[in-house]
Chain A
Amino acid sequence: GAPWRLLSFGARAQLCSSFSIPIRCGADMSHGGLTTFNIDHGFVEAMVRGFRSGFLDDNDYTRLQQSETLEDVKMNLKADTDYMGFLDNDNELSPALVRDRAVSKLVEEFEYLQAQASEPLYTFMEYIKYEYMIDNVMHLLKGTLSGRSPEELMAQCHPLGMFKESTMRAIPTFESSPKGYADLYQTVLVDTPVGQYFDLWLQERQEMIANPGEMRSILDEVEVEILRNSILKLYLEDFYHYTQRLGGDTAEIMGHVLKIRADRHSINVTLNSFNTRLNDASTRASERSLLYPGFGYLYPEATQKLASCGDEGSLGEVLSMYTLYRPVWEVHMNQAFGGDSIDDAFYTQEVETLELAFESQMHFAAFYAYLKLKEQEIRNLVWICECVQQRRREYIGKFVHIFSLQSPWRNRSKS
């Protein structure tokens, strides 16, 4: 409670370690409610809410959509948006460059926020970074399979998930097999925060590594995609349980956000597996269910059904029972008529969910939501730049507005 929170973090850690009985006493377990959150996190939270005003609004998007060339885009961004001056040093503009510069700017802001953070917010933001670390490791592994050079791969890694350079150079040197991954873990990844997920995954596949010839499995070699989905699933479960341990509003809001994320993961895995070996009728129920996270609105009943889905029809039947995902599925069904794809529908749903994090105060979800919404804004910017560059102006409006009063979820009751 409040007296506990008024002690410093060091004092709490000392008191916790002095207990002789094994009670659940975490020095960093919770972050205080309305009355004590601001001790440690008031300043950082106020900063991230200040950054919220830096999102591009409807007027900015309207001006950007009227651009004829990328130079116009640069000029429109210079006119009183938060992106003033981020392209000043560049003359050769391209959508890829715009994305790189915008991502650098976002990472700088995130690191700045994390530098001001104290526990447990610092650990929370570290968890957010693990996802990018996993992506970088997978990118390096996958790139090696297609024979690209390590330097080129490292230049494409996401800046939020960087390891030491020696670690990153070592990753592409391992072979893509269960034995190779075991070696990779023991020599390189064990020191990194994401090593724990590889450890868990290797424990699950212990039999495959020990007796590769005798094990009857549909996966003769573990594809990098399946590895990636497994590691991501383990990470999402760990992050979810961490937010639940934090308690309070963070557990409630981040729980909702992460459950939707997990369900999106399950649906995408199922949808992408339909034309692969993973869909083999004899083993799909056992193999594919290993890739579904152990939490979420679809867990456990729907994930059981999803594991045995063979085609889109049965997948649609399962999803139609959930009001959260029925509209997403309907968008996918209408795709043939020139509408949005399922990814667009998921992006829209993500923006709607994340905007909720800014509706209340004194919790950590705003940090996660800020990062993800800024990423969506970068996707929007890159989309506009690509449409402008390729002169496909009819598609230029197909992006998701963020914090817009015209959003469909704000106008539902009026329509």
Chain B
Amino acid sequence: MGIGSGHVRVALGFGGGLELVVKGRQQSVQANVPVEEQGEADVSMRAVVAYVRDQLVEKPEMFAKDEGVRPGVLVLLNDCDWELDGTLDARVSDGDSVTFISTLHGG
């Protein structure tokens, strides 16, 4: 996969109990997230969250709320808080890593 291929390779990680709602209970997944517009070399975090919600989790309501993540779920883009990069508007490039960590305790 490379630039212009229509997909962006992202290394996804799940922690804090979120791995239990991912299909196959995986803690890490290599994903190919489709670009939002043809020819783009990166995707927005919005698209990555939507991809995870629609393709990877068994119970979407445990992971996402509206177009964002459920309150209590932390997101790291390349091991840094996504709030530093603009949260849902942050750009994710080929080879980047996105980690989702839940701080909720179930119930």
Please indicate whether A and B come from the same complex rather than being unrelated chains: no
